[in-house]
Amino acid sequence: MAAVEGVGTAAGDGRPPEASPPDPAPPEAVAPEVGRTAPRQRLPGVDTARGIALLGVFIAHMGVPLTLLLTGAPDIDAVWDEGRSGPGMLVVELVSGAVSGRSAALFAFLAGVSLVLLAGRTRPGTRVERNRVRVRVAVRALLLIAVGYGLATLGSLSVILHFYGLFFLLAIPVLWLRTRHLAVLAVAVALIGPQATLAAQEAQAGFGWFGGGSVEEEWTPEEEAEWEATWGDPEWVEEKEAYWASLEESDKDPFAEEEFAEDMPLFSLGMLESPLDLLVFGLYPATVFLAYVLAGMAAARTGLRSRRVRWWLVGGGAGLAVLGYGSSWLLLGPLARFLPGEDGYSPWRTALEAYSHGNTTFEVAGNTGVAMAVLGLCLLLAGTRPMRVVLYPVAAMGAMTLTLYTAHGVVLWAVFGGLLPGWAGWVETYTVEAVLVFSLVFATVWRLTLGAGPMERPVTAAARAVARWVVRDRAVPPREGANTVGPAA
């Protein structure tokens, strides 16, 4: 995701770590934030939080692990079609509700944390250093946008990478703002952004403004006449009814039929988001999600190596979550009768909701509180060696989220497109379990042996190379015999 090693984390030296996670270095042993020659010290707690966010994304996209075992359903479709109940179903519903929307918000929050770790808590002393950081962030952002749009053409999930790329670009001007200024900006965006987004979306619905992929082309009179004539043909209708009845009797999935699969393109440009979608009309609009990024930046500027700050994140985050979700519940529940109007779908009542992906102020407040608490808990747990060892597989996932996020999108594309070989047919039933196990094992082994992830390493190298090439330090004379056209040493 956006907050990934080589894309948004503090690391990126690409060197394999030790066989076991190192002990946290004391503050005085940490290399300086700017102008340093030694590699950055990673914060295992940040990686762990990012890994938890990735696990939440997997569950949101593929379902709760062990759902069939928990519910006793014969297949995934039967879990929701038969109105099942019981403790197992309650667990599935609770987990699904817990990760929906909050995982994306947690990633955006951690993207802000990563930006501060990348840029340094203190402002670099020279213009060259500052500009190189800006270029590195911009290159990462552009690469995220490119990968995000490429993954979106598969049509297997609602991709967020290109949205995060835009968030990175918009955050460049505020990389070294002070903590209180970042906090004020975060509050301002959380208060104003959702209302502006809701107003723009209402205008879009009312006046037909569309950003891009959501445009629905109107049918021509000829197309409408052809459609009516088709459904008016009794033989055609009878043939289709018989086809669907045979599928139902044979208990086959119509979406797995070869005839259906042939009609689905493997790649599609029809649902790609336009710049307006990334800013306002999309599922993760910048007008709302920048609040998470700015809040993460403010949290990181307080000093995440401080145990006191970590406890403050847990307590303050829990309080903010209660304030956001609780206020919405009060206003739409016990206090609803005191509010004017009875239309639950009116714009002003919609603004009081805190449901998943509602992108309201109350949801932003609640999600930000959850993100703060998760980060604080992960930092506290990873601060002890035993727990750091236990959580290492999750932290390893968090260190290569760009790789694993992209991989899970490709896996879903293969499943939906019927591209899996016969011996891998079981993956269609146990997709989330297969992806989770593979991700934990692969990330752990790769991180222990090779270091930075397969996609993170080249992104980091490209960002550093472009920064050195574009921003040259004129004070450093070129080496004798060096090519003067190339980047400065």
Question: Tell me: the pLDDT tens digits for 424-476?
Answer: 777 778 888 999 999 999 999 999 999 999 999 999 999 999 999 998 876 65
Quick one: 275 and 409 in the same domain? yes
Residue 268 exposure: Cα atoms within 13 Å on the Cβ side: 14
> Closest by alpha carbon to 297, among 241, 370, 372?
372
User: Rounded to whole angstroms, what are the CA distances from 49 to 120, 167, 228, 253?
Assistant: 20, 19, 54, 37
Does pLDDT of 315 surpass 80? yes
- Domain assignment present for 279: yes
Quick one: 96 and 220 in the same domain? no
- Domain assignment present for 395: yes
Quick one: 222 and 368 in the same domain? no
Q: For residue range 390-437, what is the model confidence (pLDDT) as tens digits?
A: 999 999 999 999 999 999 999 988 887 777 777 777 777 888 899 999
How many CB atoms lie under 10 A from the CB of residue 368? 27
Quick one: 306 and 411 in the same domain? yes
- Domain assignment present for 282: yes
Quick one: 83 and 218 in the same domain? no
User: Rounded to whole angstroms, what are the CA distances from 11 to 7, 50, 120, 459?
Assistant: 9, 13, 12, 12
Query: pLDDT tier at 360 (50, 70, 90 boundaries)?
Result: very high
Query: pLDDT tier at 93 (50, 70, 90 boundaries)?
Result: confident
CB 2 within 8 A of CB 112: no
Quick one: 134 and 249 in the same domain? no
Quick one: 357 and 466 in the same domain? yes
Quick one: 190 and 236 in the same domain? no
* Residue 241: domain span: 214-254
- Domain assignment present for 157: yes
Domain boundary among 198, 230, 254: 254
Structure token digits, residue 91: 């667990």
Quick one: 355 and 227 in the same domain? no
- Domain assignment present for 10: no
Quick one: 411 and 288 in the same domain? yes
Q: ∠ at Cα 52 (46, 58), nearest 5°?
A: 140
Number of domains in the chain: 2
Quick one: 344 and 277 in the same domain? yes
For residue 369, the model assigns a pLDDT of 97
Cα(70)–Cα(432) distance, integer angstroms: 14
- Domain assignment present for 94: yes
- Domain assignment present for 219: yes
Burial code (b: 16+ CB inside 10 Å, e: under 16) for 343-365 equals eeeeeebbbbbbebebbbbbbbb
Q: For residue 336, give the 3-state DSSP assignment.
A: helix
**Maximal C-alpha separation, the chain:** 85
DSSP letter, residue 423: G
> Closest by alpha carbon to 46, among 293, 303, 304?
304
Checking 465-472 for CB contacts under 8 A at 24+ apart, the result is 466/135, 466/136, 466/139, 467/132, 467/133, 467/135, 467/136, 467/139, 468/132, 470/131, 470/135, 471/128, 471/131, 471/132, 471/135, 472/128
For residue 329, the model assigns a pLDDT of 93
- Domain assignment present for 55: yes
How many CB atoms lie under 10 A from the CB of residue 390? 14
For residue 42, the model assigns a pLDDT of 78
Quick one: 226 and 354 in the same domain? no
